[in-house]
Structures are given as structure tokens and as C-alpha cells.
Chains A and B, each alone.
Chain A
Amino acid sequence: MVHQHFSLAPNLTVLENVMTGTESLWKLASDSRAGRQKLEAISKRFGLAVDPEARVGDLSVGEQQRVEILKALYNDAHILVLDEPTAVLTGPEAEKLFSTLKEMAAQGLSLIFISHKLDEVMATADRVVVLRGGRQVAERKASETSKAELAELMVGRKVERPVREAATPGPVVLEAVGVTVRVDGVDRLKAVDFTLHAGEVLGIIGVSGNGQSVLAGLLSGTAKRSAGDLVVFGKGVGDLSVADAIALGIGRVPEDRNGEGAIGEMAIWENAVLERIADYSNNGFVDRNRAVSFADSIIEAFDVRGGTPSSRTRLLSGGNMQKLILGRNLIENPKILLAAQPARGLDEGAVAAVHERILAARRAGTAVLLISEDLDEVMALADRIQAIVGGSLSPPVAAEDANAQKLGLMMAGEWTENADAV
């Protein structure tokens, strides 16, 4: 198994990394001579050249991946599973990997190559299996299928007509102009542009890990941009802090309910008011009565079940916690709502409740940015759709013009700039 994120010890050499775990702990000395011979034999056989004495931390990402593969082969693997192996590689490195994989297959190894990039799949695979929502939906020979067919299979059944009623969107309330966000030296968002109108839902689709959390962080005030500008209500806001976002009336539903959205060990009323604690304090003292009655009104209006204001938030089910988080944002009628994976992990009933709330906010004139991996959800709620791939945003398409094939291609990073911008 070769994971998307490596499990290597950067302070050890290649040989040490490869041999770790292959010898008994009770052996006093490690037999590195035999290990080195075996490693060299394997690298020669498959053309995976790496210096066994190099420190892994000094290697490039492509070389580190080679070490991961060598590690699996060293353990006499016959089946190699590669999870999104090209996600971290540069173009030429990926090309090199493909030729290595072909060589390995030619020598009798079985390879499972997990990817959402259709080009790579078509270039390397003999057979293609399409998974959707944990189910195997199709199996094709690579020679008998096409990117278009795969894209449609990835997205699924005929796209259902959205349940939302038509509406004319209002004025632009938020605009991102060439925003780049760099985290630890990597551009997680690359010069993205989008506009958000009052009373519309803009859906951002994409395979997870393509920059969605940074995009959500940008509007939440937790991610700092390194280039470009955010324009809110016609004014450039520069770096948006959490306090700015709250003050501007941006309702925020984070993708990680337990990690960011709520503090499980605190009471429901505390989580209800923590974002706007200054409004519920007098001279630094928390006005508990007012805070509790605010929490009560959320529980009442948003049908949060399973707790009173003073019970610990951790005791709520996921759906009820999400209703609490939605409630504390929507009860104030925000101008803008950021909803990141709002229905992830919820049961059907809770999903319907969350969707109903988002559509109600849209009717009330809120501009909604919906970030989701669930295409059905986006098709049901969004007026316009953009895809996020490797930190870049596709031009928007109107939901009416979207179909499974088109969205599948967009999610695979295949769009023509400005071809059908809305």
C-alpha cells in the first residue's frame, strides 16, 4: 500500500526506512548488508534508482514516493495499492512513475491505481472500476471506454431537477479577485475568482483535498491570503480576520463540526454565543441569562433535539449539532453564508433539514457559498456551479446547463477557460 501521504521517517536513511519493521526487535544488530543487497536487487529490477544511504528528508517528493514503493516491494508485495500517487508529483515525475508502473505490471505485479484524474487512468490502466458513494458502479476495459463515459459514471445517474424554485439573484455581495492562499510554501488556492450574489447559492464541487478547506478558511477568517483581494459589499477587505467575518455578517458553517464548529466539552449555550460573546457580555461579565435564552431560541427555531442549553454539546448527535451551528448563524439573518460540507455524515432526515434551512436562507436573500463533494446536494441547491481542482476554480456553469458528464469532467480538471462562463 502506498498512501497519498507518506509514512516515512525523514531523519533515517532510505535503507533504514525500507528495513524498519522487517526485523525482529529482539535481534541485537540489524543485518543491513543483506538488506542493502535485497534493496539494490529490487531497484535494479524495476528501475527505481535511489541512493540507499541518502537521508529521506533530503530527497524530493518524487524520490520519497519511490522509497514508499520500494518499501512495499521489499516486503515481497505482489499487489500494490497506490492512493492518488500523482497528487504530490510534478509533471515529469508523474511521467516517470507511469513508466515504472507499466514496467512493474509487465513483470507480473498487480497494481491498483486510485485516482480521480481521468487522463492518468486512461494512460495507465488496463481495467477501470468506478466507485461512487462506497459502491462499485461500473467496470470497463480501458480500451473500450472513454473519458466522457467515465466522467458520467463517476457523477452518477441522470441529474435530477433541483427542488429549489427559480429566483433572480440580487446584487453582488462578495467577490474574490485572483485570490491565492499559500500555506507552508504551497499554493493551496491559485488565483481564484468567483462572485456571490444575494439570494443565490454558488456551489463549489470537487474531490476532497483540492483546496476546499482553504477556500472555506478564507471566508471564515482563518486562512490568510497571499495575493489577490476579497471584495465584500463593494469594499476590499484585505485580510479577513475571524472577528471581521463575524462583524460583516458572514455566517460560517465549517466542514469539521467537532474540531472547529463547536467545543464539545462546553455547554450548548456557550457554543451558541461564543462567536459573539462580546454581544452577550456586560463589561467583561457574561450575561448568562440572555445567552441561555438565545440558545433556547435556536433550539426552538431550529429543532435541536437531545439537550438543554446547559448540557454539554458533545452529547448532541451530528445532525443536531449541525442544526445548532446553522441556527446560531442563520437566526441573525446573515448577508452571506458559508456552508462547507454541511450535510456530511448526517442521516437522511438531518440532511433534508439542513437543505431546507439553506434554501430558506436563499429565499430570504442570503448569498450562500456551498462547498460540497456531494453532487446531488450541489445540483439540488446551487444556482451556479464551479469546480475546484488542485486549488484552481473552473469558470461557473449554470445549474440548468450542467449535466453529469460536464460536471465529471470539471471535477477531473477538464474545462475550457471562459468557454461557457455564466
Chain B
Amino acid sequence: MRFERREHRPAALVIATPLIAVVAALAVSGILIALAGAPVFEAYWKILVGAFGSKLSITETLTRATPLILTGLAAAVAFRAKLWNIGAEGQFYLGAIATAAVGARITEGMAPIIQIPILLAAGAVAGMVLLLLPLWLRLKFSVDEVVTTLLLNFVAILFVSMLVDTVLKDPMAFGWPQSEAVERAARLPKLIDRSRLHIGLLIAVAIAFAVHFVQSRTTFGMRARAAGLNPRGAVFAGVPLARTLVLVAMLSGGLAGLAGSIEVLGVKGYVTTDLSPGYGYSGIVVAMLANLHPLGVVLAALFTAVMFVGADGMSRSLGIPTYIADVTVALSLISMLVAVFFTQYRVRR
């Protein structure tokens, strides 16, 4: 038996790939649920109920999907250019704290229509800066960015944790380590009253379309793709490799920073060190599930959010640990990688 590269990738297969992967992952996690002693189909039903069963659960799922779309896009644009940004988690936190700091200290009192864009921009810039540093190290000294971006996550999170316990600590928080808050007027408007769902979701989806447009229609998108697919060929064709990677890093870091910023302005208004349940890392999974396609990222983020929110509900009613959501998402990533391989290769005996 050997593997042979496919000449043509049937479009139907490309679309079916993630679905097959998800089904396979659910089947395998079904075995685990059965091992935990719970009825498998009821468990899946509870996941669906937990994610979609009420107005509250639907809004909660969408609220969770919002940062995942943005961190997923951050990973997707970087990975396409073979810039391995594993640092979205740190960029998310730095974006969040920049937003809180600027909002609490500088822009307070400004009209929301001016203040909100400034705060979003502050978050995006903070994310960019945190990715440009490892990129500079790579371009200048060929330091592997996988290592630097990954380790900078811890630096960024500890830095944020220091800020929320010292200079930016909210004196009204009864001693809890949380940052000063952005004023209510500067928060993102709710999409639905009495829920956590905010217009950040619309912003995230709009950005996904914008990224898709940039990648498929602009000179920059074409160059970034060339740089990712074949750097030597790209250089030969006159693609300014370093400049293209800097722009990719700004886009990727900016999106991750923006995710943190929108989470602050949309949900809590302030920063704590548990603001993100690993949105940055989950973004990598989302991007891979979407096969790095920006519009696919929206769907993959929704799937991931459904699993996390639904598993909470399932765990409450059936007593299965919520870790099953992590397991299912991880399994679907693995089966996705296998499935992507089979869209590119066929088996020959």
C-alpha cells in the first residue's frame, strides 16, 4: 500500500472533510462517554440542548464563538504564510490589558463613537507588538518563532497578572486581582438584552469576510500565499519576504489582540487573569479545523463553542466531566488532520 498525491482535489471532498472529521471525533468520544457510564446518545442530546436549548444557551454559545473566530483568524493568516504564531494567547491578554489601561486612564469621558475605535485599536496594536518581537528575532537571528511565541505567552500572562495586582488594580474590587474597568458608555452594545451577546460577534464575522477578501483579491494576499507555499520561489519572483512577513505578523497579532480587546469591551469591562479559557490555543485548533480558510474559521469556531458550552450542560445533568469537550475538540482536530491528508493523497495498493 502506498500514498499517491492527488492531481485534483474534488470540491465536494474538501467541503466534506471537516464534517467527516467531526463525525469521526464524536464517534470516538462516544466510546469515552460510554466508558464513563453514561448513555451516549442522551449525552449528545444534552450537548445540543446545552448549546442551543434556550435563548440563553444560544447567546452564550455565540458569545464564546466570538473570540474564537478572531484567534482562529489570527492563527489562519499566520499559518498560511508559514509564520507559526503559537502566541495568540499572550497577544489576547496583552490586547485586553491595553484596552483596559487606555480606557481607564486616557480615554475616559470621550464620546463612545470615538472612544471605542481607539480602545479596539489599542488592543490590536498591543497584539501586533507582541508578535513583531519574535518575528524580528526570526528574521535577524533565525530564531524559531514556535518557541519564542509560545514562551512569550507566559511572559505576557504574568505581566498582565502583575499589572492587575499592582498599578492597574481596581481599588473597588475588594482586593481581587482585577484591572480598573472601562466605563460603561465605552462598552460594546449588546445584540440581545439581558444576555452576554454583544456586537463583537458581528465585528468578528465581518472581519472574517474582510480577511477572506484580502487573501484572495489583494497583492498582499497573493504575496503572503506565495511566501508560505514556496519562500525561495517567492523571493525569485521579487516578493519582499521580510516585509510580507511583517505585514502578516501585524495582521495576525492584531487579530489576536483585537480578540482580547473585544472580550473586554463586550463581556466584562475589565481584565482578570481568567479572562480567556485558552482562546488563543483553541484558535490554533479552530484554524486547523477550518483548513486555514477564513470563512471556515467562523464555522469551526461555532463548532468549538458548541462543544464547550454544550459539554457544560451535559456535565451538569449527567455528571460526566466537562473535559469531554476538550477531548472531542482535540479528537476532531486529529481526525481533521488525517482527513486533510486524504484530500491530498489517495491510497494505492
Q: Report chain B residues within 8 Å CB of A264.
A: 229-230
Give chain B nearest CB distance to A212 CB in angstroms: 16
A236-295 residues with Cβ-Cβ distance < 8 A to B are 242-243, 246, 252, 254, 256, 259-266, 270, 274-275, 277-278, 281, 284-286, 288
How far, in whole Å, are A398 and B225 apart by their CA atoms in the complex? 46
B217 at interface, CB cutoff 8 A: yes
Q: Report chain B residues within 8 Å CB of A288.
A: 217
Q: Report chain B residues within 8 Å CB of A277.
A: 219, 222-223
CB of A275 within 8 A of CB of B218, answer no
Give chain B nearest CB distance to A214 CB in angstroms: 14
A366 at interface, CB cutoff 8 A: no
How far, in whole Å, are A277 and B229 apart by their CA atoms in the complex? 17
A315 at interface, CB cutoff 8 A: yes
Give chain A nearest CB distance to B340 CB in angstroms: 14
Interface string of B222-250 (1 = CB under 8 A from A): 11011001101111111100000000000
CB of A281 within 8 A of CB of B219, answer yes
Q: Report chain B residues within 8 Å CB of A263.
A: 226, 229-230, 233-234, 237
Q: Report chain B residues within 8 Å CB of A405.
A: none
How far, in whole Å, are A254 and B233 apart by their CA atoms in the complex? 10
Q: Which of B7, B226, B230, B236 has the most CB of A within 10 A?
A: B236
CB of B233 within 8 A of CB of A259, answer yes
How far, in whole Å, are A252 and B238 apart by their CA atoms in the complex? 12
Question: Which of B220, B223, B232 contacts A260, CB < 8 Å?
Answer: B232
Output the nearest chain A residue to B225 by Cβ-Cβ distance: A266
Q: Report chain A residues within 8 Å CB of B238.
A: 221, 242-243, 246, 274-275
Question: Which of A242, A270, A278, A284 contacts B235, CB < 8 Å?
Answer: A242
How far, in whole Å, are A288 and B220 apart by their CA atoms in the complex? 14
Q: Report chain B residues within 8 Å CB of A262.
A: 233
Output the nearest chain B residue to A277 by Cβ-Cβ distance: B219
CB of B219 within 8 A of CB of A284, answer yes
CB of B218 within 8 A of CB of A260, answer no
Interface string of A313-327 (1 = CB under 8 A from B): 001000000000000
A17 at interface, CB cutoff 8 A: no
A220 at interface, CB cutoff 8 A: yes
How far, in whole Å, are A260 and B226 apart by their CA atoms in the complex? 11
CB of B226 within 8 A of CB of A266, answer yes
How far, in whole Å, are A387 and B217 apart by their CA atoms in the complex? 46
Give chain A nearest CB distance to B213 CB in angstroms: 9
A195 at interface, CB cutoff 8 A: no
CB of A286 within 8 A of CB of B222, answer yes
Interface string of B121-140 (1 = CB under 8 A from A): 00000000000000000000
Q: Report chain A residues within 8 Å CB of B220.
A: 284
Give chain B nearest CB distance to A293 CB in angstroms: 17
CB of A315 within 8 A of CB of B223, answer no
How far, in whole Å, are A222 and B238 apart by their CA atoms in the complex? 9
CB of B236 within 8 A of CB of A220, answer yes
Q: Report chain A residues within 8 Å CB of B225.
A: 266
Q: Report chain B residues within 8 Å CB of A260.
A: 232-233, 236
Q: Which of A222, A275, A286, A288 has the most CB of B within 10 A?
A: A286
Tell me whether A266 and B219 are in contact in the complex, defined as CB-CB below 8 angstroms, given that A222-B235, A274-B237, A275-B237 are known contacts: no
Give chain A nearest CB distance to B284 CB in angstroms: 22
Give chain A nearest CB distance to B42 CB in angstroms: 45
Q: Which of A221, A256, A284 has the most CB of B within 10 A?
A: A284
Output the nearest chain B residue to A273 by Cβ-Cβ distance: B222
Q: Report chain B residues within 8 Å CB of A252.
A: 236
How far, in whole Å, are A191 and B219 apart by their CA atoms in the complex? 39
Tell me whether A278 and B219 are in contact in the complex, defined as CB-CB below 8 angstroms, given that A260-B232, A263-B229, A266-B225 are known contacts: yes
CB of B219 within 8 A of CB of A285, answer yes
What are 29 A-to-B residue pairs whose CB atoms are below 8 Å? A220-B236, A222-B235, A242-B235, A259-B233, A260-B236, A261-B236, A262-B233, A263-B233, A263-B234, A264-B229, A264-B230, A265-B230, A266-B226, A274-B226, A275-B237, A275-B238, A277-B219, A277-B222, A278-B219, A281-B218, A281-B219, A284-B218, A285-B217, A286-B217, A286-B218, A286-B219, A286-B222, A288-B217, A315-B7
Given contacts A275-B238, A315-B7, 17 further A-B contacts (CB under 8 A): A220-B236, A222-B235, A242-B238, A243-B238, A254-B236, A259-B233, A260-B232, A261-B233, A263-B234, A264-B229, A264-B230, A265-B229, A274-B222, A278-B219, A285-B218, A286-B221, A286-B222
- Residues on A close to B: CB < 8 A? 220-222, 242-243, 246, 252, 254, 256, 259-266, 270, 274-275, 277-278, 281, 284-286, 288, 315
- Residues on B close to A: CB < 8 A? 7, 217-223, 225-226, 229-230, 232-239
